[in-house]
Chains A and B, each alone.
Chain A
Amino acid sequence: MQPQAMVEPVIAARAVAKGYGAAPVLRDVSVDVPPGITGLLGANGSGKTTLIGLLLGLHRVDAGSLSVFGMDPGHRGAEVRARIGYAPEHHRLPPDIQALDLVRHLAEIHGLPPREAMSRASDALWQCGLGEERLRPVGTMSTGQRQRVKLAAAIAHDPRLLLLDEPTDGLDPPQRDAMLALIRRIGHDFGIDVVLSSHLLDEVERTCDNVMILADGRIIAAGPLAELRRGASGVVVELEHGVEAVAASLREAGWTVRIEGLRVDVAADPAHEAAAFDAVRDAVARCAVPVRRLHPRRASLEEVFLGATA
């Protein structure tokens, strides 16, 4: 990914606040969302859906400023929404309408002429793996197929930005994998920027280039996923056996060590990461144990999330 300073953000929020009545939902939200696939991560009730509503211009911010493609969605909502594809969280869709008719109609709502809308609706359903099912009424479709219909409807009008609210909700593991692969394809091959709202850490970790974490209405961490995970530095070595001996040798040398199965996790700040590698090399040689893998220690998104919310 290019350095963020060089890239015009797709979404820019500055001290955004939004509440309903006396209850604040978003507080002092400031974030730049670069192009690519961005995960909007947060527990249920953290303000993700409210933020999506603000991005769509369906509500106005109470304070601060928000821009999408450089436009204020509160004042230029129609222009912003015309360039956004949105797939809501719910699975309710008109049951008696064919998938093709539904996707075509929503493409027309986004301004496409009828002929183009029909052609692109058919293409979008094929791209989402529903080409053979496109003439089926939506009410006869499974949850996984409905999720794909929503995704097809969101991309049929060729949006610049896709907002996906819990797109894997209700899917079984294989369907979930397929959906995440499709989202990656949309973000990387189709060239559409994606904001993926989810409360599932692993699916954001697997799919997204960037992350913003919402907790209690505030952005508590945001940035490229690789940078956020770099927060935990050190070395991880995975051994065939002799884990205890290697760990003891490292402790003796003064390193902080944690054992996880056949892995030895050595904590070190970035300035001492090279020295940690040397120490692991020496300990492994001393104990004469075979090494399976050796790599820098990177925090999982779960660790990032827990660290940020602590």
Chain B
Amino acid sequence: MSTAGPPPPPAGSDPGAARIIDQGYRRYDGERRGIGGAVRAVHKAAVQRALGLKRSARFKVVPLATAVLSFLPAIVFVGAAALLPEEFRDELPFGYADYYGYITAAIVLFVSFVTPEILCTDRRTGMLGLYLAGPIDRLRYLLAKAAAVGTVLATVTLGPTLLLLIGFTLADNGPDGVGGTLGTLARIVGAAAVVNVWYTTLSMAVSSLTDRRAFASAGIILTVLVSSAVVNALVENGLSSNLLLLDLFGLPFELVRRIYGEQGGDTIGELSTAPMAVAAVALVALFVGVLAVRYRRLEVTK
């Protein structure tokens, strides 16, 4: 980079005297990081925004509160495992597969706050047009945003179960041997990935439909809860239990149980894994499709 240095002081002047120097405009011919740099910058800014970093305290309340809610059961379970006598530990009512059952509300609340913050704000404030006037294109912009939602969401979907594994292992109540530990770790990561992909795509699809964060947040919660209530009511009234494949709330958590080799005790637990996985993939594709169509049609230079 060419930088205009300060001119030498005039002969006879006091070298320590203050002077105002007009640097003029500096050209830049240094490194440019291209599309990769742009994607990383979008991702980093989105994560910071969602977590309320570099923002006033009120923006930190929801992410902090939901993170506490999601970690609280893990802390209690690890504490119980560490403090209770060994003969009582096996009687304790917790495991990795069931953990999400304790924090589903926190996950839904978290994602309904995070994704609109990350996605709607750019459209409402005109930032989307400024982003797309840079090297980044729509696809990579959405990938960066999806990665940001996934990264932030991982704090509640991956963090607590990892804490459980580490805590149980340290309390001498973890899986048997290195193989058992690695197997459990792979299941933990796989389960978190399923919940992350599900809620990232679902929440981004809903958030793409409105520029207003409050509407998007309400839309995410309603989509999840209403779909679950409707299909469960229909099944209870005699319709095919396969309708539960459209239970947007229950489906991902049942898939998590299958990853741990378990099945839920309710009606959805009676369905076999293969159609459940196919339905999940199809629904994720639908969410991605909604998102893609919506962003392809967006006019950004206005």
A residues touching B (Cβ–Cβ < 8 Å)?
Answer: 49-50, 52-53, 56, 58, 77-79, 81-82, 84, 86, 88-90, 92-96, 101, 105-106, 108-113, 116, 120, 123, 127, 153, 155, 157-158, 165, 186, 189-191
In whole Å, how far is A106's beta carbon from the nearest beta carbon of chain B? 6
B residues touching A (Cβ–Cβ < 8 Å)?
Answer: 1, 23-28, 30-35, 37-38, 41-42, 45, 54-56, 121, 124-127, 129-137, 300-302
In the complex, chain A residues whose CB is within 8 Å of the CB of B42: 109
Q: Is the CB of A93 within 8 A of B302?
A: no
In the complex, chain B residues whose CB is within 8 Å of the CB of A86: 130, 133
In whole Å, how far is A99's beta carbon from the nearest beta carbon of chain B? 14
A50 to B129, CA, bound (A): 13
- Can you list 17 A-B contacts with CB-CB less than 8 angstroms, sorted by A residue number? A49-B301, A49-B302, A56-B301, A58-B133, A58-B300, A81-B135, A82-B134, A88-B302, A96-B56, A112-B32, A112-B33, A113-B30, A120-B26, A123-B26, A127-B25, A153-B130, A158-B28
- Besides A88-B130, A109-B130, A116-B31, 5 new A-B residue pairs in contact (Cβ under 8 A), listed by A number: A86-B130, A88-B301, A90-B126, A108-B41, A113-B33
In the complex, chain A residues whose CB is within 8 Å of the CB of B136: 78, 109
Q: Is the CB of B31 within 8 A of A58?
A: no
With CB as the reference atom, state the residue of chain B lying closest to A113. B31
In the complex, chain A residues whose CB is within 8 Å of the CB of B54: 101
In the complex, chain A residues whose CB is within 8 Å of the CB of B38: 108-111
In the complex, chain B residues whose CB is within 8 Å of the CB of A105: 41, 45
In the complex, chain B residues whose CB is within 8 Å of the CB of A155: 25
In whole Å, how far is B209's beta carbon from the nearest beta carbon of chain A? 19
A165 to B129, CA, bound (A): 12
A94 to B127, CA, bound (A): 7
With CB as the reference atom, state the residue of chain B lying closest to A88. B129
In whole Å, how far is B298's beta carbon from the nearest beta carbon of chain A? 10
Q: Is the CB of A81 within 8 A of B25?
A: no
Please list the 4 inter-chain residue pairs (A to B) with the smallest Cβ-Cβ separation, ordered nearest first: A111-B32, A86-B133, A158-B28, A92-B126
Q: Is the CB of A81 within 8 A of B302?
A: no
In the complex, chain A residues whose CB is within 8 Å of the CB of B23: 123
